[in-house]
């Protein structure tokens, strides 16, 4: 077997969206004749844990772990948080508008922890992996970010081992990411971020990302072709024992639900319908699975819908999917941020495979909307399209009452993780 070294901060037992891309991709690499060698922290400061994901690791996988020091305890001390506090998705956006201690911590994060708080792992990792590469044959290296410190580890290795092909995987942008403008950067720090980003983009043998929009944005910085390898779904996760729908009109969201994704107009529409129709109020269930920002819960509370909310902070991944499979509607709100046109949430592909109606909220000309339209898997509405959202909710509810709420999703099989793993190998062997 050929061997591919994958440098990733996110790996089981850590949970969440950042884990899935390379956990699932690596699962199907051995079928292509490639053995995955995972390099990951021994003691990451994970926002969530999911022990069930350990069972997803292919038996042919070698996992290398090395200790990491991260300054999050200092952040907890500065902001008065408890030592065991977990950081939710979007914490930078929340902290940037908080009290002076939170704003100071964001300033330190942006200007001194470049490119991110995992920067202290870069040099030790280069030293550790250089020894490993000297003693073992590796055919390709993948670095996946964020955190973009993973790319700087690979950059250091590329200088020492120029003949090994390096693929830099941008799951999210670097300087174009939605919270970059909230980092309170000095001109010096902004320049350094951009210089490091440009170096990674130009020194890597191949650069891949998750959507056409992201590829266009990154190519403007790198002045080179950017390959697209979408996120996807694992067919093995969708072998459910039964296909029984909820009796309630369940609108479910799965995964991190941060402040920038808060669909405030949706909550007001649901409030309006609940006030018009007592049966709608009685049937409505808003199911939130995963870390949910307090601003979203506050918006729901302000619309007198809190009694309709079911909050499940975390579930094993497959258990979460089984709950979604029983849901009437799957909610897909996108980040209301400058880079939204290229955002393709990882959960979207799993929504497609669940074959339940999707209610997506974001620009209707963005990359995600094209996929939902092509697969006939649901409806898309602009952030402020209250009229369209209300019509869709009314239509979905009428179909629900007739036990006829279905979608005829199709043509989504190209996003199978098995097919995407083959695409990675095609890039690695070019």
Residue 411 CA to residue 133 CA, distance in Å, equals: 41
How many structural domains is the chain composed of? Answer: 2
CATH number at residue 58: 3.40.50.2000
416-424 mean pLDDT: 94
Q: Is the pLDDT of residue 240 over 80?
A: no
Q: Is the pLDDT of residue 23 over 60?
A: yes
Which pLDDT score is estimated for 430?
Answer: 87
Residue 328 CA to residue 251 CA, distance in Å, equals: 6
Whether residues 180 and 31 share a domain: the answer is yes
The chain-wide mean pLDDT, for the chain, equals 92
Q: Is the pLDDT of residue 88 over 80?
A: no
344-370 mean pLDDT: 94
Whether residues 214 and 78 share a domain: the answer is yes
Whether residues 229 and 373 share a domain: the answer is no
Confidence of residue 256 (pLDDT cuts 50, 70, 90): confident
Contacting residues for 50 by C-beta, under 8 A, at least 6 apart: 12, 13, 14, 15, 16, 19, 314, 316, 317
DSSP designation for 241: S
Q: Is the pLDDT of residue 77 over 90?
A: no
**What b/e readout covers 46-84, taking b as 16+ CB neighbours within 10 angstroms?**
bbbebeebeebbeeebeebebebebbbeebbeebebeee
Residue 328 tokens, joined: 């009437």
Residue 356 CA to residue 241 CA, distance in Å, equals: 17
- Structure confidence by residue, pLDDT tens digits, 130-158: 999 999 999 999 999 999 999 999 999 99
Whether residues 184 and 94 share a domain: the answer is yes
Whether residues 170 and 243 share a domain: the answer is no
Whether residues 134 and 41 share a domain: the answer is yes
Domain, as residue range, for 199: 2-233+417-428
Which pLDDT score is estimated for 104?
Answer: 83
Residue whose C-alpha is closest to residue 50's, from 71, 70, 77, 23: 23
Cβ 230 vs Cβ 171: under 8 Å: no
The most confident of the ranges 39-53, 167-181, 376-390 is 376-390
Confidence of residue 219 (pLDDT cuts 50, 70, 90): very high
Percentage of the chain modeled with pLDDT above 90: 76
Which pLDDT score is estimated for 96?
Answer: 59
Which pLDDT score is estimated for 86?
Answer: 67
Whether residues 395 and 380 share a domain: the answer is yes
Whether residues 275 and 191 share a domain: the answer is no
Whether residues 219 and 160 share a domain: the answer is yes
CA 430 to chain centre: 28
Residue 248 CA to residue 256 CA, distance in Å, equals: 23
- Structure confidence by residue, pLDDT tens digits, 328-346: 999 999 998 888 888 898 8
Whether residues 307 and 424 share a domain: the answer is no
Whether residues 194 and 251 share a domain: the answer is no
112-126 mean pLDDT: 96
Residue whose C-alpha is closest to residue 297's, from 313, 319, 276, 315: 313
Q: Is the pLDDT of residue 218 over 70?
A: yes
The torsion of the CA quartet 29, 152, 430, 23, rounded to 10 degrees, works out to 10
Helix axes 417-428, 17-28, angle to 10 degrees: 70
Whether residues 154 and 51 share a domain: the answer is yes
What distance, in Å, lies between the first and last C-alpha atoms of the chain?
A: 17
Which of 4-13, 74-83, 333-342 is predicted with the least confidence, judged by mean pLDDT?
74-83
Which pLDDT score is estimated for 241?
Answer: 59
């Amino acid at each position: 077997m050929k061997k591919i070294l994958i440098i990733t901060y996110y790996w089981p037992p850590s949970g969440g969206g950042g884990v899935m891309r390379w956990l699932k991709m690596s699962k199907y690499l051995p079928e292509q004749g490639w053995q995955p060698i995972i390099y990951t922290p021994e003691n990451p400061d994970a926002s969530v844990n999911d022990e069930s994901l350990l069972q997803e690791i292919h038996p042919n996988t070698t996992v290398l772990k090395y200790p990491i020091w991260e300054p999050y305890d200092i952040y907890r001390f500065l902001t008065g948080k408890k030592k065991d506090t977990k950081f939710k998705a979007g914490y930078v956006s929340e902290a940037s508008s908080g009290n002076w201690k939170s704003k100071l911590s964001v300033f330190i994060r942006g200007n001194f922890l470049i490119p991110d708080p995992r920067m202290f792992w870069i040099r030790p990792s280069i030293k550790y992996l250089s020894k490993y590469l000297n003693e073992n044959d590796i055919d390709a290296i993948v670095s996946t970010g964020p955190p973009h410190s993973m790319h700087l580890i690979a950059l250091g290795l590329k200088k020492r081992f120029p003949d090994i092909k390096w693929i830099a995987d941008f799951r999210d942008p670097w300087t174009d990411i939605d919270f970059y403008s909230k980092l309170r950067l000095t001109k010096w720090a902004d320049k350094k971020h951009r210089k490091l980003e440009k170096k990674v983009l130009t020194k890597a043998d191949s650069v891949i990302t998750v959507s056409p929009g992201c590829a266009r944005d990154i190519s403007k910085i790198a002045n080179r072709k950017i390959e697209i390898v979408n996120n996807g779904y694992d067919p093995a996760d969708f072998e459910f024992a039964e296909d029984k729908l909820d009796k309630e009109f369940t609108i479910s969201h799965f995964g991190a639900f941060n402040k920038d994704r808060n669909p405030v107009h949706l909550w007001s529409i649901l409030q309006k319908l609940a006030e018009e129709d007592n049966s709608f109020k009685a049937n409505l269930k808003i199911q939130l699975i995963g870390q949910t920002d307090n601003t979203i819960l506050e918006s729901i509370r302000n619309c007198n819908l809190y009694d309709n909310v079911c909050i499940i902070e975390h579930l094993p991944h497959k258990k979460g999917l089984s709950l979604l499979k029983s849901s009437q509607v799957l909610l897909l709100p996108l980040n209301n941020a400058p880079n939204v046109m290229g955002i393709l949430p990882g959960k979207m592909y799993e929504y497609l495979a669940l074959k339940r109606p999707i209610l997506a909220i974001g620009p209707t000309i963005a990359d995600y909307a094209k996929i939902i339209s092509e697969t006939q898997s649901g409806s898309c509405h602009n952030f402020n399209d209250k009229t369209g959202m209300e019509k869709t909710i009314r239509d979905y509810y009428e179909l629900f009452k007739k036990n006829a709420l279905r979608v005829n999703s199709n043509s989504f099989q190209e996003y199978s993780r098995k097919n995407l793993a083959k695409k990675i190998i095609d890039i690695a062997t070019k």
